[in-house]
Structure 1
Amino acid sequence: MNTSHRFAVGVHIMTLLASTEGLLPSSMIAGSVNTNPAMIRRILGMLNKAGLTTASMGSTGGAMLARPAAQVSLLEIYRAVDEPGVLALHANMPNPDCEVGRCITGVLKGVIAKAENAMEAVIAGISVEDVLKDVLKSG
């Protein structure tokens, strides 16, 4: 099973940017995430393309939020860094000669759509500011 960690890293980056005034270099973000700066720059590029962050290049450069944390939902981050599809169908087509195999794909498509819609509805109602508040309470 292929699991992406980009959403968690994207939320981490955005929350860190929300907790900081001004530009934050990718090396500092990488230190917080505990990964390499190249991976952070890739995800920052996705967030930037989605209009969620702005960046300044160079030795004094870095990233910052493009708009207030309260106005950025986790759904926006998810859509910026991950391809939809937490759940997936069979890797191989089921047997069409089997009563279950013949119909299961259509049934599962409906189930998966409902599950993904529910997940998206939940994260759409959570902002980066909400996450930052929870982080500060937990610390």
Structure 2
Amino acid sequence: MSATEHATCLAIAAARAAADKKAEHLAAIDVSERLGLTDVFLLASGANDRHVHAIVDAVDEAMHRAGAKRRTREGFADAHWVLVDYGDVVVHVLQNEDREFYSLERLWKDCPAIELPADLAHGGSRDGDSLGGRETTAS
């Protein structure tokens, strides 16, 4: 079993909204075979709490327009790691330092990456592999 086409399309819509707010280190991971709760994790990084808030708000708006209903949102007040659950897609927006510390890409390294469109490639790993090499963009 792999992520549904619907979940993949939602993840790309969320990634596009995040990229529009200059999110960094965008990565989509197909967790459908490991988790029964969701198909895709979308990971994004922001520079500070305001940046994380802007990214989350933009993603929320895009997902609403796409017909996805937000089930829950955690961590918005502190804005170090915000998790937003849309059912088929769970969006994680972390500040850069928290993203490196928690290293979600390493935790889910056995799950396949979902290729994101090349135009969503904003920034990259600062040291080339600090985020586990999981950033996924088209060639």
Higher helix share: 1
- With the length of structure 1 as denominator, give the TM-score of the two structures: 0.30
Computing the radius of gyration over CA atoms, which structure comes out larger, 1 or 2? 1
Higher strand share: 2
